[in-house]
Every structure is written in structure tokens, then in C-alpha cells.
């Protein structure tokens, strides 16, 4: 099916100021980051209580959430195309809150993983439909610019989430972190319910019918640009989630920085936000192709140098500094690529923005779990396994990025 040209929907009668709209979309998107990053300081306690025989399995608490997120995104976009954006976000947030309560009560790792999977399913609502809301009102490089501003605020949450998680865990125990997820979800639901109008007009909605869904899926997957963007998002998310799975064990077990981990992660997140701010400035000037290709190429060089340093027998403090700088680079890479690749995938598909967002994000997220889970489980007390895996992913990404059409 040939893609139709997209004209953003007429704005609703009452429209938020751009600043508040960006802040709200960022908070909805940050449901995912908050649900992952604030859990990182709890890994040792979860492992000790629920998986004492194999402490590496505690990392599955992260990947189970991401897997649920990926599965959920297959349906949230089409549902929002049929019923509107607001009901799907609010329904997903309610499911997320239920998962948080079940995780709080978990008595086994399996129970915990099931609850986290449910949380991920619910988080797909605010994550995917927020992207569709942006696409309803913006297009092309303007959408990429808005997405970059959203990423700046989005990155503030990772900066404070581990510290908040550590504070809550110290004061009330690791289970109480799930009650903070519940409070966060209620806050964003209230903000959306009271302030944000619906962005998808009734005459632009698509009935939730299998035939139409298959047609939309065929249209998304028939677009060479969308297919390439999905693959690149998969590798970019794979690198990010592999790093998230291993960053706490590396800092704690390898370099003895467990007590300082919230501080170091805040430093990482602040630099990540700077990367997103830089992207917002540069994306209109140099375009998506040049930006993504350059960033992945630099990541290849940085990771190769780190691997050489890890085998050079450097002093421990210097080696940690290099690992810290490299980790910052991975997160900056995410800020400079993922939002651009999302905009690239949706550009020819704005008339089915919800479905397109679902397919692109779902395939990339599920694929990234397949990549990240074994990398996390391969942790051997050093940064060598994750650095080796990420070098391979960066090489693949840099090669594929050169296939992005010029002028994209």
C-alpha cells in the first residue's frame, strides 16, 4: 500500500502550551526510565532474597520489564488509533500500577518477573502513545527537535532515579520502591486527565479490525526507511539495555563503587541530557543520516580503545575512570540516535502514527531484549564481556547507518 502524505491533525480546541506539552510527554515517556533506573540499586538485595544461588539472575528483573514493554507496544498503538490517545495511556497506566502492587508482594523471583512483565505491558501505553501524540501535532525534523527536548527532560529522571531508589530502599526496604512506581503513575495519570486534550480527531481514527491492522503492518514493513530504522533502533536499544543490566554490578563488584553508584549514575544521566540538548541544536543543521552515522562510528572507536585499556593492566582507579567515560558515551549515544531513528521511521507513516509507533518500538524493544539479556548474564566480574558485545553492535550499527537515504 502506498503511503499517503501526512498533514498533522488539526489542533484541538484547547491545546497545551508547548513547554507543558513537552514536560508531560517527557514524564509519560519517563515511566520506563524510572521503572528501570530506580531498580538498579536494589539488584543486590533482590538477588540475596529471591535468587541467592545465582545473583546474576536478578538482572532479569530489568529485562522482564523490557520484554513486557516490547510486547505491549504491539497493541497500544492500534488501540490508540481506534479509541484515541488518552484512554489508552490511562488504561496502560492503571495496568502498570497493578503490576507494581504485585511486584511489591512478590515472594519468589518468578513471581517478581511475572509482575515486572505486567508492569512493562502497562508502561507501553504511556511510552508509545506519547510518541503518537507528538506525531499528531508535529512532523519531520520539527518532530525530531521536539523529541530531543523531550529527551532532555526524560534524562533528568535517570539522574535522580537511582539516588531516590537508594534513599527509599535504605529507609523502607527494597520492596517499597514499587510503591514509588505506583505514586509516579498516579501523578502522570492525574496530569494527563486534567490537562491534556485528545490529539486524534474522531474522523482520523481507524477501526480496530484485524484486516486493517494487517494492512497497516504491511505498509510499515514495506517501507525501506522504516525497516532500516527498526534495525538500528534494535541495536541502539540493545546497547543501552545491555549497559543498564551490567552497570551496577560493574561499578559495585568490579570497582567497589556500590555505595557511590547513585552519584555516578546521576553524572552519567546529566551528560546524557547534554547529548540530547546537542542533538536538538544540530539535527536541523546536519540531518539524521550524518548524525546517526557519526555517533555510531565514534562509538566503535571508543569501545575498541576501552577494550585495549582493559587488557593493558592499568591502575584500578584509571581503569574505572575510562569505564565511567565509556559508559557516559553509551548513554549519550542513546540521546543522539534513538529519538532521531524514531522520527525517521514515522516520517512516511504519519497517517498511521499509532500503528507505526507500535511496530517500530515493539520490534526494536523485543529485539533488544534478545540482545541484552545474554550480555547481562555473561557478566564475569569485569567489563570485558559487555564491552566486546557492544563493539560488535556498534560496528553493525555504523555500517547500517550509512544506508540511511541522504536528506532523511
pLDDT at 349 over 50: yes
Average of per-residue pLDDT across 61-83:
88
Confidence check: pLDDT of 94 > 90: yes
Give the tens place of pLDDT for each residue, 152-208: 666 677 778 888 889 999 899 999 999 999 999 999 999 998 888 888 888 888 777
DSSP 185-221: HHHHHHHHHHHPPP-S-GGG-----HHHHHHHHHHHH
Closest CA to 63 of 101, 127, 117: 117
The C-alpha atoms of residue 245 and residue 61 are separated, in whole angstroms, by: 9
Domains of the chain with bracketed CATH = 18-401 (1.20.1250.20)
Is the pLDDT reported for residue 209 higher than 80? no
pLDDT over threshold 70, residue 9: no
Record the cell numbers describing residue 405, joined without a space. 537515504
pLDDT of residue 354: 62
Query: For 237-279, how does the pLDDT look when each residue is reduced to its tens digit (9 = 90+)?
Result: 999 999 988 999 999 999 999 889 999 988 888 887 777 677 7
Q: What confidence category does residue 3 fall into, taking pLDDT thresholds of 50, 70 and 90?
A: very low
Contact (Cβ atoms closer than 8 angstroms) between residue 276 and residue 55: no
Helices assigned H by DSSP within 12-139: 18-37, 43-50, 60-83, 85-104, 109-137
Query: 77 and 128 in contact (C-beta within 8 Å)?
Result: yes
Q: Is the pLDDT of residue 5 over 60?
A: no
Residue partners of 122: CB distance under 8 A and separation at least 6: 68, 72, 92, 93, 94, 95, 96, 97, 98, 99
Residue 170 and residue 67 in contact, taking contact as beta carbons nearer than 8 Å: no
- Residue in 252, 239, 258 with CA at minimum distance from that of residue 331: 239
Q: What is the pLDDT of residue 322?
A: 96
pLDDT digits (tens, 9 = 90+) for 279-321: 777 777 777 888 899 999 999 999 999 999 999 989 999 999 9
Confidence band, pLDDT 50/70/90 cuts, at residue 4: very low
State mean pLDDT over 366-376.
91
Name the percent of the chain in helix, strand, coil, to the closest 5.
85, 0, 15
DSSP string, 226-262: HHHHHHHHHHHHHHHHHHHHHHHHIIIIITS-TTTHH
- Measured in residues, the chain has a length of 408
Which one-letter DSSP state was computed for residue 311? T
pLDDT band, very low/low/confident/very high, at 14 (cuts 50, 70, 90): low
The percent of residues above 90 in pLDDT, for the chain, comes to: 42
- Across the range 369-395, mean pLDDT stands at 93
* CB atoms near residue 117 (< 10 Å): 20
Contact 176, 41 (CB under 8 A): no
For residues 344 and 4, which has the higher predicted lDDT (pLDDT)? Answer: 344
Across 346-356, average pLDDT: 72
Cα–Cα dist 42/315, whole Å? 29
* Separation CA 60–CA 43 (nearest Å): 10
- The pLDDT score that the predictor gives to residue 111 is 94
Residues 6+ apart with CB under 8 A from 92: 72, 76, 121, 122, 123, 124, 125, 126, 129
Amino acid at each position: 500500500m502506498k503511503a499517503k502524505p501526512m498533514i498533522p491533525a488539526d489542533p484541538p480546541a484547547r491545546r497545551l502550551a508547548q513547554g507543558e506539552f513537552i514536560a508531560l510527554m517527557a514524564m509519560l515517556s519517563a515511566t520506563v526510565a524510572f521503572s528501570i533506573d530506580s531498580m538498579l540499586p536494589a539488584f543486590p538485595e533482590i538477588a540475596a532474597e529471591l535468587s541467592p544461588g545465582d545473583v546474576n539472575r536478578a538482572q532479569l528483573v530489568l529485562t522482564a520489564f523490557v520484554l513486557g514493554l516490547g510486547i505491549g507496544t504491539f497493541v497500544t498503538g492500534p488501540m490508540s488509533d481506534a479509541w484515541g490517545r488518552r484512554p489508552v495511556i490511562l488504561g496502560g497506566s492503571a495496568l502498570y500500577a497493578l503490576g507494581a502492587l504485585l511486584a511489591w508482594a512478590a515472594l519468589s523471583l518468578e513471581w517478581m518477573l511475572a509482575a515486572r512483565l505486567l508492569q512493562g505491558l502497562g508502561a507501553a501505553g504511556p511510552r508509545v502513545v506519547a510518541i503518537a501524540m507528538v506525531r499528531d501535532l508535529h512532523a519531520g525534523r520539527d518532530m525530531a527537535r521536539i523529541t530531543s527536548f523531550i529527551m532532555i527532560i526524560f534524562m533528568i529522571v535517570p539522574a535522580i532515579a537511582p539516588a531516590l531508589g537508594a534513599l527509599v530502599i535504605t529507609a523502607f526496604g527494597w520492596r517499597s520502591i514499587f510503591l514509588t512506581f505506583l505514586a509516579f503513575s498516579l501523578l502522570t495519570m492525574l496530569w494527563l486527565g486534567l490537562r491534556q486534550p485528545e490529539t486524534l480527531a474522531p474522523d482520523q481514527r481507524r477501526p480496530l479490525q484485524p484486516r486493517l491492522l494487517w494492512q497497516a503492518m504491511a505498509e510499515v514493513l514495506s517501507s525501506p526507511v522504516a525497516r532500516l530504522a527498526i534495525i538500528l533502533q534494535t541495536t541502539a536499544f540493545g546497547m543501552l539495555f545491555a549497559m543498564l543490566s551490567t552497570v551496577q554490578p560493574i561499578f559495585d563488584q568490579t570497582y567497589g563503587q556500590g555505595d557511590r553508584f547513585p552519584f555516578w549514575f546521576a553524572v552519567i544521566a546529566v551528560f546524557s541530557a547534554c547529548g540530547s540538548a546537542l542533538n536538538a541544536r544540530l539535527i536541523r543543521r546536519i540531518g539524521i543520516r550524518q548524525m546517526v552515522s557519526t555517533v555510531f562510528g565514534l562509538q566503535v572507536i571508543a569501545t575498541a580503545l576501552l577494550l585495549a585499556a582493559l587488557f593493558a593492566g592499568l591502575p584500578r582507579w584509571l581503569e574505572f575512570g575510562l569505564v565511567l567515560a565509556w559508559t557516559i558515551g553509551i548513554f549519550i549515544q542513546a540521546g543522539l540516535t534513538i529519538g532521531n531513528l524514531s522520527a525517521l521511521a514515522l516520517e512516511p507513516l504519519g497517517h498511521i502514527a499509532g500503528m507505526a509507533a507500535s511496530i517500530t518500538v515493539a520490534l526494536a524493544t523485543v529485539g533488544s531484549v534478545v540482545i541484552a539479556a545474554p550480555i547481562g548474564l555473561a557478566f564475569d566480574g569485569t567489563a570485558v564481556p559487555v564491552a566486546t558485545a557492544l563493539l560488535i553492535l556498534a560496528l553493525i550499527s555504523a555500517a547500517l547507518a550509512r544506508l540511511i537515504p541522504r536528506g532523511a
